[in-house]
Amino acid sequence: MDDRSGQIKISAIVPTYNRAYMVSDTLRSLKRQSLPQYLYEIIVVDNYVSSNTRDVVDQINREGGKEILYVYEPHLGLHNARHRGARVSRGEILAYTDDDAICDVNWLSALLKEYQSDEIACVGGKILPKWETPPPAWMRLFEPWTLSLLDYGDERLELAWPQNPFGCNFSIRKETLFKLGGFNPECVGNKWVGDGEAGLLRRLYGRKFKVVYAPDAVVWHIIHSEKASLSGMKLRLANCGAAHSCADYKINKYRPYKLLWRSGLFMMRYFKQYLSGIWNRFMKKDAFYLRECWKDYNKSRAIYELRLIFDNDLIKLVSREDWINEK
């Protein structure tokens, strides 16, 4: 062990769920970081009991170089895996990426240099696409955020809501993460709660913490062919719809009559997209794919807003703000 291990400044945390076949590329990109090895650690959090992620980590560790710490988190959920990584980490800064991402060699260095000021609580960076196969022509119609891509340009920026770093290129002070209650979940059991790191960012902005975009902190998001398919994009937009309704509710605390009105509005938009999609399909226009996905987005929002009236379990989950500190 390096005798300077006590100087660890930043912890790179990779939650993974049954993706041993791809997380190896993520981990190898973290082993190749330009930051001196004694300044960072790599933690992979396995959230799927039947995967062979442990075997993959052992194999990569046998290759030499920076050692990876394997941790198992039995409670399903991305937020549980993220929090498990935070609890075992030794760095004062936590840097999160996903198991389908490749980190630039200077990723950790670019993040860490932004924390020279105590005012900075959270830093994110560029997320660029790495296509497994050439995308279909209709993908050009979708905005980058629908694929968790982010590029605010080449200048450093201080961000404000709704400008948000995304979870596969997201860092935060460990102390701040615990102070603010951690990441909101996307799912709890079969309940889609919704707003993930956006919920944490909402609390960050609300407490006047500074959030920075660092353009040199680059991550490539691997977009597999199933993600760029119509079914894949329909699922992504439906999940985004639920997350957006969750976030809106947390901010505005809508009364039941307002939720009912909003649900009806989203259903009207659903039917509008549905009819437009029929016409686009008849005319053989690529806009058909866009309409199909936004149709599911609006349907998801309509259903979610109704559930916020009648589903007491969901209402209780959405109202909760602290997910990391033991109760």
pLDDT at residue 1 in the model: 34
- The model carries a pTM of 0.93
Residues 239 and 212 in one domain: no
Q: Where are the alpha helices (DSSP H) in the chain?
A: 20-31, 53-62, 78-88, 107-113, 174-179, 196-206, 230-252, 256-282, 287-310, 312-319
pLDDT category, 3, cuts 50, 70, 90? very low
Residue 304 confidence (pLDDT) above 60 = yes
**In this structure, what token pair is assigned to residue 69?**
């710490």
Give percent above pLDDT 70 in the chain: 95
The angle that helices 256-282 and 287-310 make with each other, rounded to 10 degrees, is 160
Indicate the SS3 state at residue 71.
Answer: strand
Residues 219 and 234 in one domain: no
d(CA 23, CA 56): 8
Task: Pick the last residue of a domain from 173, 194, 223.
Answer: 223
Mean pLDDT of 9-16: 97
Note whether 80 and 2 are within 8 A (CB). no
Let me know if residue 164 belongs to a domain.
yes
Radius of gyration in angstroms for the set of CA atoms belonging to the chain, rounded to a whole number: 20
Residues 250 and 176 in one domain: no
Task: Pick the last residue of a domain from 223, 256, 283.
Answer: 223
Q: How far is CA 242 from CA 206, 279, 303, in A?
A: 22, 27, 8
d(CA 280, CA 293): 13
Give percent above pLDDT 90 in the chain: 82
Q: What is the pLDDT of residues 59-76, one digit of tens each?
A: 999 999 999 999 999 998
Per the structure, the complete domain to which residue 246 belongs is given by 230-319
Nearest-10 Cα torsion for 163, 168, 169, 171 = 90
Matching residue, tokens 């650690």: 41
Q: What is the pLDDT of residues 97-147, one digit of tens each?
A: 999 999 999 999 999 999 998 999 999 999 999 999 999 999 999 999 999
Let me know if residue 181 belongs to a domain.
yes
Residue 305 confidence (pLDDT) above 70 = yes
Note whether 173 and 186 are within 8 A (CB). no
Q: How far is CA 59 from CA 56, 94, 251, in A?
A: 5, 25, 46
What are the two backbone dihedrals, phi and then psi, of residue 310, each rounded to the nearest 5 degrees?
Answer: -110, -20
Residues 120 and 244 in one domain: no
Note whether 238 and 300 are within 8 A (CB). yes
Q: Please report, as a single letter, which amino acid is at residue 104.
A: D
pLDDT category, 191, cuts 50, 70, 90? low
pLDDT category, 327, cuts 50, 70, 90? low
pLDDT at residue 5 in the model: 47
d(CA 244, CA 120): 26
Q: Please report, as a single letter, which amino acid is at residue 6.
A: G
* Angle value at C-alpha 77, between 161 and 106, nearest 5 degrees: 60
Contacts of 108 (CB under 8 A, 6+ apart): 10, 12, 30, 33, 34, 35, 40, 95
Let me know if residue 196 belongs to a domain.
yes
pLDDT at residue 190 in the model: 56
Structural domain count, the chain: 2
pLDDT at residue 2 in the model: 43
Let me know if residue 327 belongs to a domain.
no
Let me know if residue 324 belongs to a domain.
no
Residues 234 and 214 in one domain: no
Q: Looking at beta carbons, which pairs linking 269-278 to residues 24 or more positions away fall under 8 Å?
A: 269/294, 269/298, 270/295, 270/298, 270/299, 270/302, 273/298
Mean pLDDT of 29-57: 93
Mean pLDDT of 141-161: 95
Let me know if residue 326 belongs to a domain.
no
pLDDT at residue 49 in the model: 73
d(CA 88, CA 184): 19
Q: What is the pLDDT of residues 213-238, one digit of tens each?
A: 999 999 999 998 888 999 999 999 99
Mean pLDDT of 167-173: 97
Let me know if residue 325 belongs to a domain.
no
Can you spell out the DSSP letters for 299-322? HHHHHHHHHHHH-HHHHHHHH---
Q: What is the pLDDT of residues 263-301, one digit of tens each?
A: 999 999 999 999 999 999 999 999 999 999 999 999 999
Residue 188 confidence (pLDDT) above 70 = no
Residues 166 and 85 in one domain: yes
Nearest-10 Cα torsion for 55, 57, 61, 66 = 180
